Amino acid sequence: MRILITNIGELTTNAPGAGSAPGASPVPGVASVRGAGSVPGAGSVPEVSPVPGADSVPEALEGPDPCGTLHDAAVLIDGDRIVWVGSAAEAPDADETVDADGRAVIPGFVDSHSHIVFGGDRAAEFEARMQGQKYAAGGIRSTVAATRAATDDQLRARLRGFLDEMLAQGTTTVEIKSGYGLDVATEERLVRLAAEVTPEVTFLGAHVVPAEYADRADAYVDLVTGPMLDACAPHSRWIDVFCETGAFTVPQSRRVLEAGVARGLQPRVHASQLGPGEGVRLAVELGAASIDHGTYLTDDDVAALAGSDTVLTLLPGVEFSTRQPYPDARRLIDAGVTVAIACDTNPGSSFTSSMPFCIAVAVRDMRMTVAEAIHAATAGGAAALRRDDIGRIAPGMRADLVLLKSPSRVHLAYRPGVPLVEAVWKDGVRV
């Protein structure tokens, strides 16, 4: 089944060079993500000829148009893949045609950081915070109690509700972390439930030290790196740790990450959310795919990131919901750091599932250009997950696309809070 989406007024391809010619020109290949490895569940990518010099997300960001914009364009989908991109005037025949009527099309959002398997919520904590109370890592423990008490079916129903909510807002790929179980049985349940809906599952047993291990953090790390890892690794692709005062020290974080790597998981790290620390440099040293938060970065952190393959994932919803200062994305991008934007959907620090909202905040308060923010929320997220089959609109990529109601992607930041998604295709299927 070949579906042609045509009459696209503004097409964000994220494909380097795609926007160089006036009008539209075919996008000749697929850019790969630096450091990309095999992706469980991602399937195979049809062979396409590589574009010389167009081989990484950082290079795409260096250009004047990180979004590889085409106008009066069309996209042909065949099955679950994009097979042709170019000028609407030269579009091939298809079984079905969708007229975009001059509106904008962007790649589906890649939300590379979420915690959406949990019980209960913390509305009272949020309300108290808005009246002056400070956010602290310890709040996680109240969600642990509610999560342990919930059945698999209750957690599954909630999880699927969040996914529907995300899809309706244009998110076609989501990473999901455990971390609200903090005992072997519940952590295993969380990664197992997450694996039902995404290949991007992260084992975060080292989210915080649970109450029953108070003052015995090292003994809890023994549990995480031993029986808990044994139970969770088969369902997971990633290993994560909250490396922060009030959670885990740098030596404890190193133990967790190295144990995960020894079991075949790939590292990603929560760091520098509540204050500066050495978590970013640990992440870079261990070749982590991403360090997430980075609210308090030192110049050494920025230099280390700029010289690495580690993506810095910004989480604007967290600063918004905790009233912490926004990190300066300009400082990072200008230094050459690869940046992603994600929602960090969780009941404590950021209970939004809206990538458009996060884009709007990143543009207003983190000083990103709209093009940089859209790129970070799509190709940036793909880089943070080391995926080379999503985050771009080019032949060979998964057919994950969003048709907006607006003529330009700028409206995503310009009209904050307004539902602007007209249609979403995931793996070539309109949802």
Binding site for ligand NIG (CB under 6 A): 115, 139-140, 143, 242, 270, 273, 318, 344, 346-349
Question: Would you say 140 or 231 has its CB closer to Fe ion?
Answer: 140
Q: What is the DSSP letter of 31?
A: P
What residue 377 binds from ligand NIG, Fe ion, none (CB within 5 to 8 A, per partner kind)? none
Q: How far is the CB of 320 from ligand NIG (least distance, A)?
A: 12
Report whether 188 contacts 232 (CB < 8 A): yes
Q: How far is the CB of 342 from Fe ion (least distance, A)?
A: 9
Report whether 409 contacts 10 (CB < 8 A): yes
Question: Would you say 60 or 315 has its CB closer to Fe ion?
Answer: 315
CA 268 to CA 241: how far, in whole Å?
8
Q: How far is the CB of 118 from ligand NIG (least distance, A)?
A: 8
Decide if residue 175 touches Fe ion (CB under 5 A): no
- Ranges within 113-172 binding Fe ion (CB under 5 A): none
Which stretch in 66-74, 147-155, 338-346, 354-362 sits in contact with Fe ion by CB under 5 A? 338-346
Report whether 345 contacts 114 (CB < 8 A): yes
What residue 139 binds from Fe ion, ligand NIG, none (CB within 5 to 8 A, per partner kind)? ligand NIG
CA 328 to CA 332: how far, in whole Å?
7
| Residue 110, H or E segment | strand 109-111
- SS3 at position 291: strand
Question: Would you say 169 or 202 has its CB closer to Fe ion?
Answer: 202
Question: Would you say 206 or 376 has its CB closer to ligand NIG?
Answer: 206
Decide if residue 344 touches Fe ion (CB under 5 A): yes
What residue 140 binds from ligand NIG, Fe ion, none (CB within 5 to 8 A, per partner kind)? ligand NIG
Positive/negative CA dihedral, 157, 160, 165, 166: positive
Q: What is the dihedral of CA 364, 375, 174, 264, to 10 degrees?
A: -120
Start-to-end Cα distance in the chain: 16
Q: How far is the CB of 195 from ligand NIG (least distance, A)?
A: 20
Question: Would you say 9 or 348 has its CB closer to ligand NIG?
Answer: 348
Question: Would you say 294 or 395 has its CB closer to ligand NIG?
Answer: 294
Question: Would you say 235 or 270 has its CB closer to ligand NIG?
Answer: 270
Q: How far is the CB of 362 from ligand NIG (least distance, A)?
A: 16
Q: How far is the CB of 318 from Fe ion (least distance, A)?
A: 8
Which ranges of 323-402 would DSSP assign to H, the alpha helix? 329-335, 355-365, 370-384
Q: What is the DSSP letter of 43?
A: -
Q: How far is the CB of 331 from ligand NIG (least distance, A)?
A: 21
CA 425 to CA 77: how far, in whole Å?
10
Half-sphere exposure of residue 47, counting CA atoms within 13 Å on the CB side? 0
Give every strand in the sheet of 290-293, ordered side by side: 176-177, 201-206, 238-243, 266-271, 290-293, 311-314, 339-341
CA 299 to CA 292: how far, in whole Å?
17
What residue 411 binds from Fe ion, ligand NIG, none (CB within 5 to 8 A, per partner kind)? none
Decide if residue 319 touches Fe ion (CB under 5 A): no
Question: Would you say 138 or 264 has its CB closer to ligand NIG?
Answer: 138
What residue 76 binds from Fe ion, ligand NIG, none (CB within 5 to 8 A, per partner kind)? none
Question: Would you say 115 or 392 has its CB closer to ligand NIG?
Answer: 115
Half-sphere exposure of residue 262, counting CA atoms within 13 Å on the CB side? 10
Q: How far is the CB of 315 from ligand NIG (least distance, A)?
A: 7
Q: How far is the CB of 351 from ligand NIG (least distance, A)?
A: 9
Angle at 249 between CA 248 and CA 252, to 5 degrees: 80
